[in-house]
Amino acid sequence: MPLDLFHHGKKSRHTFLTQDSSQKDIVLISKVVENLLGIQVFGVEKINGGGNNRVFKIKTLNEESLFVKRYFKPSAASDRLEVEFYSLEFLWRHGIRHIARPLACDKDLGIAVFEFIKGEQANLNSPKNYDITQAANFITSLKNVTRFPDAQKLQSAAEACFSLNELTENLNMRLLRLNNVEKDVPLFKDFCKFRDEKMVPTLERLKESANQRCVQFGSVPSCSLESVHRTLSPSDFGFHNAIRRDDNVLIFIDFEYFGWDDPAKTVSDFLLHPAMQLNEQQSRMFMDDCIKKFGATDENLCNRIQLYFPLFGLKWAFIVLNEFCSSDWKRRQFSGRGKIKTKYYFQEQLEKANIFLKNAIHADKEFPYVI
């Protein structure tokens, strides 16, 4: 339980502390929010749960709650704040309301202020069918706002792939990155054995299979998806990044990777994400709903999902191994979730990667969702 904002019935400015909050964070967050919004801050609570950044709940003079995110910025090249904040501004401006309203930001300090959404993380309990409908409707609403001229100013989503060649090159880059894992990481030998004896040959086999299937579908690996068939996507989309309000309405959060993408990737990642708890019926329901909504103007979407799904599955095997790389572990430590650097934790990541690898191989032989 967070500490109370009040001491002996009186408001105590800047004293809403938790064990994970440093006084330095409290002072900085309070000062920035007050300067940005011209308000007085009476409480700052560190919220657990962010995997890449530090997140806080702010209490103001008039009892309003705000949500503040302090972004991990290892270098000046980091632009996650700008991507998220200005993408949400675009969406809010065009009537999208299943998001948290962006309020203000300080790019130099890497701090942004948003509307606070009261509720619980949506994936704490198994999703219901109406959650699937809400997710599909939200993805459709993002496609609808692509018609506005200012949508063209938005960037591509993180690691967006608009052709088979781009996807396979992305996987090659991820493999190259994992080749640089340092020897002092826990389970280094086990990691290298898994990478070299399982991931490398599987990647080559799936790339060859995808190239053959691409030709069967009447396309070529270098063919880029036409702009009219692209959509806007949160990229990291799922119930792990959604808050369920008391009225069961889902508010989607975390738009750091937002931008233009192939809807085949959005659908595949939603089904594959390790934080999801979808049963087979719900997975089919989501895919069918998306195909129904997008397929009227994108007749090749079904083929692309079948073509890319095994490769995206293998990509998730790469993703869960990210923390074997020192830079990714530093980001986890910054967020406050890096207190479990043990062999058990890294062994768990290897086991997850192995499951994704096996599922990718199976999906290449037999697509798990009949279209």
Of all residues in the chain, the percent with pLDDT exceeding 70 is 87
| pLDDT interval class at 75 (50, 70, 90) | low
Mean pLDDT of 293-311: 93
pLDDT of residue 237: 96
Closest by CA position to 250, among listed 69, 99, 54, 34: 99
Length, in residues, of the chain:
371
204: left (phi over 0), alpha (psi -120 to 50) or beta: alpha
E strand or H helix that includes residue 178: helix 164-178
Q: For 208-276, give the secondary structure using H, E and C.
A: HHHHHHHHHCCCCCCCCCCHHHCEEECCCCCHHHEEECCCCCEEECCCCCCEEECHHHHHHHHHHCCCC
| pLDDT interval class at 332 (50, 70, 90) | low
Distances (CA, A) of 85 to 69, 254, 255: 10, 10, 8
E strand or H helix that includes residue 203: helix 200-216
| pLDDT interval class at 239 (50, 70, 90) | very high
Structural domains for the chain: 6-116 (3.30.200.20), 123-365 (3.90.1200.10)
Distances (CA, A) of 10 to 5, 40, 42, 250: 9, 15, 11, 35
Q: What is the DSSP letter of 124?
A: G
Distances (CA, A) of 358 to 85, 137, 203, 366: 37, 31, 12, 12
The answer to whether 318 touches 175, Cβ cutoff 8 Å, is yes
Q: Taking 90 as the threshold, does the pLDDT of residue 278 lie above it?
A: yes
pLDDT of residue 12: 37
Distance of CA 230 to the CA centre of its chain: 19
Mean pLDDT of the chain: 88
The answer to whether 321 touches 353, Cβ cutoff 8 Å, is yes
